[in-house]
Copies of this chain bind each other. A is one copy, B any other.
């Protein structure tokens, strides 16, 4: 049986209040008393019962991170960033995966609200406007990650999906490419990453005076490597000529890279390729992959900070909307740009 405050106080010959004071670094404890208490704690190998502490204080110092799945490298790296940011603030992280279907996403959202956590970081995947209600109803403090939900009912830390994707597309257009394939679209979707990144792609085309052609937009329901390979193969079968590929994330891009090379297309000579996310692997693929660094660490840091404020602040305040800066990372899969080569120049 584990030792309790009472055991310690008995052994040290003080009241439990004094032991509690020592544990919680209450300053007004005589030094000799403190020593006696510490000795008793060490002897009994006492550790506070966190369930009791939580019950009493109403705080658990645990937050949950709700993501689609850890197998997806992007989310593993996000989880890593979140755990580091959380750990700096003394928080532990309970990860919940919901897979890739909307049903379980909703059910995780509903069930976990009461889950012994102080707050929730939730990386929205499949929900949209229609589910705003479900999101608004969550009473546990919650911060949304990674997507943009307009006028969202909750705090929200996002990457710049549209701007990043536009910059990625411009990387190809500025290099003189004109027939650029977009990989990973979700037809009909407006406010998820797929919709936003498609919007950025279109913006870039328009700004460059290039035509938007639906045949160059290839859907991919999920964004695994295999989906990228499949989507690329599907496009190749159309026989349409092309000279660039914007993939909506890095794993799609890496799956496509494989298929391009098998089919004899040289990257970047014949086809320039750019991804999105800047996962570790993009440094080591052959060729290395140009991509967009969405600012994951910054997203994690800001999200944890915002969540803590939301947990601590009894006064409700207006939901905040934070978009962190992104960076364009040029590597071997896109040819070097000439500094001043603008389409209209």
Interface residues of A in 41-92 (CB under 8 A from B): 45, 47-52, 54-55, 60, 62, 69-71, 73, 76-77, 79-80, 83-84, 92
From A69, which residue of chain B is reached at the shortest CB distance?
B80
Contacts of A116 in B (CB 8 A): 50-51, 54, 60, 62
**The stretch of A5-13, A27-35, A122-130, A280-288 that contacts the partner chain:** A280-288
Contacts of A222 in B (CB 8 A): none
Separation of A69 and B79 alpha carbons in the complex (Å): 10
Contacts of A55 in B (CB 8 A): 49, 51-52, 55
Interface string of A252-266 (1 = CB under 8 A from B): 001101100110000
Contacts of A80 in B (CB 8 A): 69-71, 97
If A51-B60, A96-B92 touch, does A76 touch B71 (CB 8 Å cutoff)? yes
A76 to chain B, nearest CB (A): 4
How many chain A residues have a CB neighbour from B under 8 Å? 49
From A137, which residue of chain B is reached at the shortest CB distance?
B45
Contacts of A52 in B (CB 8 A): 51, 55
Interface centre among A116, A281, A285 (most CB of B within 10 A): A116
Separation of A298 and B79 alpha carbons in the complex (Å): 24
If A83-B97, A95-B93, A96-B92 touch, does A280 touch B54 (CB 8 Å cutoff)? no
In the complex, whether A322 has a CB less than 8 A from a CB of chain B is: no
Say which residue of B47, B77, B114, B255 sits within 8 Å of A71 (CB atoms).
B77
In the complex, whether A208 has a CB less than 8 A from a CB of chain B is: no
**Does B76 lie within 8 Å of A225, measured CB to CB?**
no
If A283-B226, A284-B229 touch, does A95 touch B71 (CB 8 Å cutoff)? no
In the complex, whether A136 has a CB less than 8 A from a CB of chain B is: no
Contacts of A284 in B (CB 8 A): 225-226, 229, 254-255, 258
In the complex, whether A115 has a CB less than 8 A from a CB of chain B is: yes
If A94-B92, A115-B50, A116-B50 touch, does A280 touch B83 (CB 8 Å cutoff)? no
In the complex, whether A20 has a CB less than 8 A from a CB of chain B is: no
In the complex, whether A305 has a CB less than 8 A from a CB of chain B is: no
Separation of A150 and B281 alpha carbons in the complex (Å): 35
User: Ordered nearest first, which 9 A-B pairs have the shortest CB separation?
Assistant: A47-B114, A76-B76, A51-B54, A50-B116, A51-B55, A70-B80, A225-B284, A71-B80, A70-B76
Interface residues of A (CB under 8 A from B): 2, 45, 47-52, 54-55, 60, 62, 69-71, 73, 76-77, 79-80, 83-84, 92-97, 113-116, 139, 224-226, 229, 254-255, 257-258, 261-262, 280-281, 283-286
